[in-house]
Amino acid sequence: MRLMRQFGIIAGMTCVGELMHYFIPLPVPGSIYGLALMMIALMTGMIKLESVLETSQFLIDAMPLMFIPAGVGLMTAWGQLRTIILPVTVVTFVSTVLVMGITGRVTEILLAVTARGRAKGETASQELKEEVLAEENVIAEELREAAKHETEKIKHLLHGEVTKSEEPEVTDCAALSETAEAEETAKTEHAAAEATAAHGKKRRKHHGHG
């Protein structure tokens, strides 16, 4: 079914070429119109190459068989060709050389145009990649700067919290130190008072004995 569809596409282009030959008053064969239409359709993408590839390869491989009917027809018309064999030979040789040269030149031009198109496409693709990489580098640099700024901010906040948490500890240490000093002072005063009281008792006892 796939091969039939491909053959139908080629046959349809050939039929359109024959219609153009019928309606256009130019000495151009219908097969040439069909080939031109097929080339335009393939180059513009109206027909994908995969849509006619297998059948086209088969027809190219079978092309020598297409010349057998023409050769048999020449053999049957030998009586008419005998008188003009020399002009026909010259025309056939010259036209064959011209067709080969023109076909080769056109092929070179098409290949050059295709190569330039690919080169332009690759250049545009490379420029696009470079632009994308440059934008990515700029974005990465901005992200690094933002991350650095956020890191500094977090460090500053953490430092402030540590400072605030250390201040009460210092205050508590000072209060504890003052409390300890007060307790030592109270103990010292209490010991001094006890010593004074004991000394007074001893003196009273001493005076009583006297």
Reported as a single tens digit per residue, the pLDDT across 149-207 is 878 877 777 776 656 554 444 445 555 656 666 666 666 666 666 666 665 555 555 54
Task: Domain ranges for the chain, please list them.
Answer: 1-61
Name the pLDDT band for 37 (thresholds 50, 70, 90). Answer: very high
Residue 15 predicted with pLDDT over 90:
yes
Number of Cβ within 10 Å of residue 19's Cβ equals 13
Residue 195 confidence (pLDDT): 62
- Position 60 scores a pLDDT of 86
Q: What pLDDT shows up at residue 183?
A: 67
* pLDDT mean over 46-52: 89
Say whether 125 sits in a helix, a strand or coil.
Answer: helix
Neighbouring C-beta atoms of residue 118, cutoff 10 Å = 10
For 119-144, write each residue's pLDDT tens digit. 776 677 777 777 878 888 888 888 88
88-128: pLDDT as tens digits: 889 989 999 999 999 999 888 888 888 877 777 667 777 77
Sequence letter at residue 204: R
Rg value, the chain, Cα:
55
pLDDT of residue 33: 92
Neighbouring C-beta atoms of residue 38, cutoff 10 Å: 21
pLDDT, average across residues 7-21: 92
Tell me the C-alpha distance between 39 and 31, whole Å.
12
